[in-house]
Structure 1
Amino acid sequence: MTIDQDSAVPPYQQICEQIAARIEAGELAVGARLTSVRGLAAELGLAPGTVAKAYTQLEEAGLIEGMGRQGTRVAAGGDGTRALAAAAAADFAARVRRLGLGTEELLRIVRTSLDQA
Structure 2
Amino acid sequence: MIVIDPSSHVPPFEQLRAGLLDAVLTGDLAAGTRLPTVRRLAEDLGLAPGTVARAYRELEAADIIETRGRNGTFVAFHSDPARQQLQRAAAAFALQVRELRLDADEALAAVTAAIRATTPPATA
Query: How many residue pairs end up in the alignment?
Result: 92
Equivalent in the alignment of 1:6? 7
Alignment partner of 2:34: what SS? coil
Equivalent in the alignment of 1:32? 33
Shift of 1:76: 1.2
Alignment partner of 1:7: what SS? coil
Equivalent in the alignment of 2:42? 41
In 1, the alpha carbon distance for the partners of 2:23 and 2:17 equals 10
In 2, the alpha carbon distance for the partners of 1:49 and 1:75 equals 21
Identity of aligned residues (%): 46
Equivalent in the alignment of 1:103? none
Q: Deviations over 1:16-64 (max 9, x none)?
A: 1111111111111111000110000011111100000000000011100
In 2, the alpha carbon distance for the partners of 1:8 and 1:34 equals 26
Displaced runs of 4 or more, over 4 A: none
In 2, the alpha carbon distance for the partners of 1:32 and 1:43 equals 18
Runs of 5+ in structure 1 lacking a partner?
A: 86-91, 94-105, 111-117
Specify the code of the residue in structure 1 equivalent to 2:42: A
Equivalent in the alignment of 1:99? none
Q: Please, what TM-score do these two structures have when normalized by structure 2?
A: 0.66
Specify the code of the residue in structure 2 equivalent to 1:46: L
Q: Please, what TM-score do these two structures have when normalized by structure 1?
A: 0.69
Alignment partner of 2:24: what SS? helix
Equivalent in the alignment of 1:52? 53
Larger radius of gyration: 2
Note the aligned Cα RMSD (angstroms): 2.4
Runs of 5+ in structure 2 lacking a partner?
A: 95-103, 111-124
Equivalent in the alignment of 2:74? 73
In 2, the alpha carbon distance for the partners of 1:62 and 1:15 equals 16
